[in-house]
Structure 1
Amino acid sequence: MRRAIFCDEQGLFRGTDEDAWDASASPIVAVQRGAREGEEVVGVVRIYEVEPGVWHGGRLGVARAHRKQGVVGRGLVHKAVTTAHGWGCRRFLALVQAANVPFFESIHWRSLEERTHRDHPHHLMEADLASYPPGDEPRRPPGPGFG
């Protein structure tokens, strides 16, 4: 799904969007049950710790058919931040495409600064952890990259 969104659809990457963070990231996947083949992946995000207590979310992607209402994206962001918060996160950041800043602001994030990433406007944003109580998701060792 990441390849379809970030490489094919948006053209931000050529071939793959995988990077060094994938090796240590914890992927979170949104699945729609009851699809034709039983389950369908409708969204993805990854979280990773860059230094003790400082976590980043990234590569948030939602299948085109599930973007309009924001339900999948909102759920993925909530799960990402509450999971990291439960694992000791004291600060949660993400580099967000400029077009998505209003969505993130509506769910208790604030822009820290504007940046250009891969020739596209982005904002470095921070989640208000008071709005995301720590989750109780068990922490598993990171797995292999995904794409």
Structure 2
Amino acid sequence: MELSRYPWLIELNEELKQFITDDIIIKVVTEDWERRQYYQLREATFRDEQKILKEDRDEQDFKALGIIAIGQMFGEHDRVIGAVRIFPDGEQAWWGGRLCVEPLYRHHHAIGKALINAAVSTAKNLGCQTFLATVQQQNERYFQKLCWDSLDTRNVANLPHVLMQAQIENYPLQHVVMQAYSYKEA
């Protein structure tokens, strides 16, 4: 159906985008539409909103696994509302990065926690012994509460960041309550 012939339908669709759901799943990117929305959310966050990066994609994306939070509407996948990537650096070390949540869902603190839990747990299941990330300084305390240690400070994209390491023995985190969230293994 050609939507441009039905302006009321386009308007309704835009209004529905603002509807916030509590039916959320966390999974590894597998579908083309998921990958498109995964990159769109990253670009909207890091390029457009925060203006940290001129270009969001980099060489790590060729070997990275994208992990996403998908909001479901009426039991059907609706759209990507959160994202993170993980990638190997050697045989036992992995990195996480580009953690972002759609602005409408940032009050759902469990989405970020669930994405971090899935990222570290997925890497751990793939043989990771050391999981690292550079985290914006204002988020250091948030990660510490999720069993991460601060190792060093750095400047990334002219912003203060902290090099952090997950206490991998604590993952998956048992205290990350997933009541309304389901988690699909990679």
TM, length-normalised to structure 2 = 0.69
CA RMSD of aligned residues (A): 1.8
Distance in 1 (CA, whole Å) between partners of 2:185 and 2:122 is 6
Q: Does the CA-based 8 Å contact 1:86-1:137 persist in structure 2?
A: no
1:112 to 142, 145, 151: 151
2:135 aligns to what? 96
Is there any run of 5+ residues in structure 1 with no aligned partner, and where? Answer: 139-147
Inter-partner Cα distance in structure 2 for 1:31 and 1:69: 13
Alpha-carbon distance in structure 2 between the residues aligned to 1:25 and 1:11? 22
**Deviation digits for residues 87-146 of structure 1, max 9, x if unmatched?**
00000000000011111011000110010001000000000011104xx945xxxxxxxx
SS of residue matched to 2:53: coil
**Which residue is equivalent to 1:6?**
46
Aligned AA (1:63): E
Letter paired with 1:77: I
2:109 is aligned with 1:74: no
Q: Which moved more, 1:1-10 or 1:62-71?
A: 62-71
Q: C-alpha separation between the residues in 1 aligned to 2:58 and 2:158?
A: 17
1:32 aligns with 2:65: no
Q: CA deviation at 1:69?
A: 3.5
| Separation in 1, partners of 2:127, 2:86 | 13
Q: Please, what TM-score do these two structures have when normalized by structure 1?
A: 0.86
Q: Which amino acid aligns with 2:65?
A: S
SS of residue in 2 equivalent to 1:51: coil
Matched positions, count? 135
The structure having more radius of gyration, on CA atoms, is 2
Secondary structure, in 3 states, of the residue corresponding to 1:124?
A: strand
Gaps of 5+ in 2: 1-40, 173-183
Q: CA deviation at 1:38?
A: 4.5
Q: Is the Cα contact below 8 Å between 1:27 and 1:44 reproduced in 2?
A: yes
For 1:131, give the aligned amino acid: N
The structure richer in helix per residue is 2
Aligned CA distance change for structure 1 residues 127 and 38 (closer, same or farther; 3 Å): closer
1:48 aligns with 2:93: no
Identity between Structure 1 and Structure 2 (%) = 39
